[in-house]
Amino acid sequence: MKNLNPETPPALQFKTEKVGEIEIDTGTIVMVDPCRIDEVDLDLLDDEGGQIYGKQYPDGRKRKIAIISSTGIGDGRYPVYARTVTDPKLGRQVVELVIHFFPHYCFADDPKVANEIAESEKEFLEYENEPDVANLKK
């Protein structure tokens, strides 16, 4: 449908998709820009979750370089989803990453559990991408 009112921006298009999986052996995940990986002091990591700081700025402010979080259950292979928005001017952008740390992902190598996981992921994506749900999350 054509946008007849030039002052009203066209609707943004939201979509959720699985972008991959992350295998975790320590029960802990760290999110960091790859160019900052050498600044992370692994001796200071724990599984409490929270902010990781790097070298200070010249004015003394702390540099927030990473986030750490426990998976809550431990080792596993966990799915990662990206919520994207397609803007008519800017194109497609990732606006949210979601990682499911549900306990059954610890047993993903079991064929029966793997089938259950595949079905639950399919249902999750179908729900997330229903037009009414996708528009509610704007």
As a whole number, mean pLDDT of residues 116-121 equals 90
Do residues 21 and 13 touch, judged by C-beta distance below 8 A? Answer: no
* Three-point CA angle 46, 49, 50, nearest 5°: 110
Q: Are strands 13-24 and 63-70 parallel, antiparallel or unpaired?
A: unpaired
Q: Which of 3-7, 46-50, 76-80, 117-121 has the lowest mean pLDDT?
A: 3-7
**Percentage of the residues of the chain whose pLDDT score is greater than 70:** 80
**In the chain, where the domains are located:** 12-21+77-138, 28-70
Q: What whole-number distance in Å separates Cα of residue 137 and Cα of residue 17?
A: 15
Q: What is the DSSP letter of 41?
A: -
What mean pLDDT comes out for the span 11-15? Answer: 81
Q: What is the mean pLDDT of residues 128-136?
A: 72
State the pLDDT at residue 94: 93
The answer, yes or no, to whether residue 133 has pLDDT greater than 70, is no
Which two tokens mark 133?
A: 């749900």
**Could you report the per-residue pLDDT of 63-108, keeping only the tens digit for each?**
888 888 888 888 888 999 999 998 888 888 999 999 998 888 878 7
CA angle 98, 102, 103 (to 5 degrees): 155
Position 136 scores a pLDDT of 57
